[in-house]
Amino acid sequence: MKVKVLLLFFIICVINIPACTTFKGGDTLFVAFYNLENLFDNFDDPEKIDEEYIAGGKKEWSEERLVKKMANLTRVVSEMNNGKDPDILGFCESENEAVAQRWVDEYFGKDRYRLAYKESPDGRGIDVGLIYKPEKLILISVSGDTVPPVADLYPTRMILHVKLQRSVSSEVINVFVNHWPSRRGGDNKTELYRIEAAKVLRKNVNKLFSENKEANVIIMGDFNDEPDNISITEYLNALSFFGEEEETDIYDDPQLFNLATKLDQQGKGTYKYQDQWNMLDQIIVSTNMIRGKFKYIEESFEIFNPGWLKTYSGKYKGTPFPTYGGSNYLGGFSDHFPVTASFLFVQ
């Protein structure tokens, strides 16, 4: 009887790898990205435009509201991955390293997460960062590339490159965290700003591929463009991904694949603007993360949007429940839903 049960389990695993990942927890990698929506401290930085988020400022930001904000964000992260939280979480809209480090120290602890961070030249002081589980990953290096100004482009967030190594092998994972220039002023007018960001990112990816065509690359972020915009398709050259095709030579050369394509074409998104869902938050990976030493778990790219994370009534019902609605304090989480994806280490 035991032989039959074991045989059945083996057959299920061969047919459907995702069904077995819970039994191989040490060999899986769960990654996520989250726009935190203005995680600001409540101190005035004279070199940053942060006056809205200080005591007595327009948003009436306070220590009490900051504490609630960090607690809310912690709940979101902790509920991901079936309550086991991500192995890697990239994020954006943190004001500075100090407030991000406080979030990690007070709500997770260094034993649970470590922080990788670089201060950006953004005028408001909002940055990108990454936290990772030290039990599974070792930090090799953290670097950042600034995006050169274009026309009247104000300084924007740098592209963060975090190089990690699996703690149980020599396998290196290159994670790029992004928050490209916004669409404020109109999509068409601001498109060249995001194209410039795509060029900087692609240059970094090309360098990795020239050194190692089997490089493990994970690109995540709030791109302020969607998977079919030219900044993504032409300048970053991220291919649409609908699922792995067994008989194809597309995987012979190092490529980038956008895991968000399928849900985007189904009309789903992470941010809603004027009654339209936008897939601004995406995860893009290299060939080796699809069918190399890592294997993307089919259909695992998801928008994390449980009911408690949504606005529950009114005009914005079903959208992300934010911290603010305009200048009105709502006490929610973020105006974006996070995105997640899973990978299996197969060699």
Does 339 map to a domain?
yes
Total number of domains constituting the chain? 1
- SS3 string, 173-223, reads EEEEEEECCCCCCCHHHHHHHHHHHHHHHHHHHHHHHHHCCCCEEEEEEEC
Name the residue range of residue 134's domain.
27-345
Residues in CB range of 217: below 8 A, 6 or more apart: 174, 176, 205, 208, 256, 285, 286, 288, 289
Residues recorded for the chain: 347
Measured CA to CA, the distance from residue 278 to residue 264 in angstroms comes to 8
The pLDDT profile of the chain, 347 residues, written as one tens digit per residue, is: 444 434 443 444 444 444 343 334 458 999 999 999 999 999 988 888 888 998 889 999 999 999 999 999 999 999 999 999 999 999 999 999 999 999 999 999 889 999 999 999 888 889 999 999 999 999 999 999 999 877 666 778 999 999 999 999 889 999 999 999 998 877 778 899 999 999 999 999 999 999 999 999 999 999 999 999 999 999 999 999 998 776 677 777 889 999 999 999 999 999 999 889 999 999 999 999 998 889 999 999 999 999 999 999 999 999 999 999 988 999 999 999 999 999 999 86
Does 134 map to a domain?
yes
Does 20 map to a domain?
no
Does 3 map to a domain?
no
Does 101 map to a domain?
yes
Does 18 map to a domain?
no
Does 43 map to a domain?
yes
CATH number at residue 329: 3.60.10.10
Which candidate, 218, 236, 86, places its Cα nearest to that of 164?
Answer: 218
Which amino acid appears at position 343 of this protein? F
